Structures are given as C-alpha cells and as structure tokens.
Amino acid sequence: MAFANMVAFHMNFRGRNYMVRGLCLIYCLVFISMNTQAEVDHERLINADNEPGSWLTHGRNYAEDRQSQLTSINRENVSKLGLAWYFDTGTTRGLEASPLIIDGVIYSTGSWSKVFANYAVTGQPLWDYDPQVPRAWGVNACCDVVNRGVAAWGSNIYFGSLDGRLIALDSATGNLQWEILTIDPARPYTITG
C-alpha cells in the first residue's frame, strides 16, 4: 500500500475513514516547522488541541480521540494527493508503532525496538537508535519483535525495549540519557511498547 510506504510505518487502514485521517496527518507535516523543539510538559499535553499539526502522545491527546483537527484535506481534494516522501526502516518485520509528531519531527519505533526520528517535511533521518536487543530474546515475544511506539516528556523520548529495558533518549540527538532493566532477566518477559 503506497500510503504505508510514504510514512514508513505499517498501518492497517481499514476503510476510507482511516485513509482520510492518515492523509490529513501527512498533509499537516508539510506545513510543520522543523526549527524549534520545545519540551513536552504537562501544559503542552493538556493543550494538545492547540497544536493541530502535532501528535504529542498516543492517540494525539489525553482523550485519545485519534482525530486530526486539520481540515485542509477533504473529500473534494483527497484524490489529488500524491507521494511526498517515504522512509525505509530496513526491515520486513512487523511495524505497529503509533508515531509522535513533535515540532516538525516524527518519532517512531520499528522491530527489535529500534527508534527513528525523521524530519516531517522532507522525511530525512534526524537520528536513529538501536538498543541492540539480543536476537535470541525474540523467542519470548508472543507477537513478533514489534514495538508499539514512544512517549515524550521534557526533552526526552522514552520507549520500552523488547528485552525489558526502559530507555530515555535525547529527542534532538538520539543520545542515550539512561536505561533501566524493568524485568527479571531470568524470566521470559518482554516489553513491546
């Protein structure tokens, strides 16, 4: 499906409604500024509706309504949209993340808990991070080695790695800030998001 390739995340869109929502999201990316990165804090999250071009948290806002407020794409012009860019994550494994869009950057995860940051307007990679999950750990996962996304707070991007670590990365550079093991490594536990 061309749209899934365009945003570089595998999304199972069911029906035209989901397609229109996704296209609205892509359209907004073209107009997002890439030059500023403000910290994500409580005020920003509770006022997410004031940033229609952003997707600050899973589901877009605390209500998790998953609806873009942008109206530039509609039934009359949706058929005129085309491919703006695509990003190859380098895998054919499952991709299930709900990406975040913060200050012109798309943050998402791929299989084996890899994290990607791309400029929203161009698709150019800003950084990526591979937590080096031991491949043998994959047998413990019930549903493949997928990851369901990141969270943002302050100037960090947070995610859980398949092998049970909670990891914080600097949102601007992708540099590791800290990590902590959250599971008993003797048990076959996993984190997928």
Q: Which residue has the higher pLDDT, 52 or 36?
A: 52
Question: Is 79 part of a structural domain of the chain?
Answer: no
64-72 contact pairs (CB < 8 A, 24+): 66/21, 67/21, 68/21, 68/24, 68/25, 68/28, 70/24, 70/25, 70/27, 70/28, 72/24, 72/27, 72/28
Q: What pLDDT does 94 receive? A: 85
Q: What pLDDT does 143 receive? A: 87
Question: Is 109 part of a structural domain of the chain?
Answer: yes
Mean pLDDT of 57-81: 91
Mean pLDDT of 102-127: 97
Question: Is 76 part of a structural domain of the chain?
Answer: no
Q: Which distant-in-sequence residues (6+ apart) come within 8 Å of 172 by Cβ?
A: 37, 155
Question: Is 82 part of a structural domain of the chain?
Answer: no
Question: Is 7 part of a structural domain of the chain?
Answer: yes
154 pLDDT band (50/70/90 cuts)? very high
CATH code where residue 13 lies: 2.40.10.480
d(CA 161, CA 135): 12
CA-based nearest residue to 3, from 75, 98, 85, 95: 85
Question: Is 163 part of a structural domain of the chain?
Answer: yes
Mean pLDDT score across all residues of the chain: 85
Question: Is 53 part of a structural domain of the chain?
Answer: yes
Q: What pLDDT does 21 receive? A: 52
Residue 4 has pLDDT above 70, yes or no: no
Residue 86 has pLDDT above 60, yes or no: yes
Q: Which distant-in-sequence residues (6+ apart) come within 8 Å of 2 by Cβ?
A: 83
Question: Is 75 part of a structural domain of the chain?
Answer: no
Range of the domain at 60: 1-70+87-193
Taking the complete model, does pTM exceed 0.85, yes or no?
Answer: no
Give the chain's domain count.
1
22 pLDDT band (50/70/90 cuts)? low
